[in-house]
């Protein structure tokens, strides 16, 4: 039975590497996959999913308002698809998450989504929130804080390395802008709990 999967993690946990390896495994067995990534993130080039270890693949872009069910249905009509892979799934809209659920339910094609769970303020991205609510299978991909504990939070840094606690939710960047920390060190770094003011 086809399912909607959500694999989530903090930054630099290897999400894209795992996605590309899984797609490769399908293709190695003669199966056809479709890769999609957010148009918002073009750090590796337009329509490219790239891992930090140097592996990359071309992918279709998705933008807010795109009908992903229709896109996948059209691609499936051109040749049977065995699996759909979505990178940067945190940038999906809630409607698009439901469109992907319909791909699994109606077209019987597994959909594997990979993305961040929370932003730099410790708040859920809308796409991630919807995936956590309706995905058939949830998996945490772990990375570690500098202290060795599991990293679950992300700090956004200014040009001078100062932690930022306010700003728009989406600000594309990599190691130059974000660091992954455990919850205790995240709270220590930003100096407050979200929505609770300064630390007591």
Task: Out of 57, 88, 130, 140, pick the active-site residue.
Answer: 88
140 catalytic per annotation: no
d(CA 52, CA 64): 26
Enter the tokens of residue 67: 């009908």
What's the Cα-to-Cα distance from 74 to each of 3, 80, 156, rounded to whole Å? 20, 10, 38
d(CA 139, CA 114): 9
Q: Which residue has the tokens 């399908």?
A: 26
Enter the tokens of residue 27: 């293709």
- Asked if residue 117 lies in contact with residue 106, where contact means CB atoms within 8 angstroms, the answer is no
Pairing label, strands 150-151, 153-157: unpaired
Would you name the residues annotated as active-site residues?
Answer: 88
């Amino acid at each position: 039975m086809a399912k909607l999967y959500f694999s989530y993690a903090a930054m630099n946990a290897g999400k894209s590497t795992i996605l590309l390896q899984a797609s490769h495994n399908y293709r190695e067995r003669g199966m056809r996959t479709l890769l999609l990534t957010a148009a918002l993130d073009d750090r590796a080039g337009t329509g490219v999913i790239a891992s930090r270890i140097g592996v990359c693949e071309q992918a279709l872009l998705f933008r807010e308002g795109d009908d992903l069910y229709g896109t996948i249905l059209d691609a499936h009509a051109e040749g049977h698809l065995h699996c759909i892979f979505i990178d940067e799934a945190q940038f999906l809209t809630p409607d698009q998450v439901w469109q992907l659920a319909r791909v699994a339910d109606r077209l019987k094609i597994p959909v594997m989504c990979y993305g961040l769970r929370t932003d730099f303020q410790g708040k859920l991205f809308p796409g991630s929130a919807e995936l956590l609510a309706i995905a058939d299978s949830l998996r945490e991909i772990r990375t570690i804080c500098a202290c060795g504990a599991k990293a679950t939070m992300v700090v956004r840094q200014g040009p001078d390395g100062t932690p930022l606690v306010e700003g728009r939710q989406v600000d594309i960047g990599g190691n130059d802008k974000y660091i992954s920390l455990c919850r205790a060190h995240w709270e220590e770094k930003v100096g407050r709990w979200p929505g609770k003011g300064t630390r007591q």
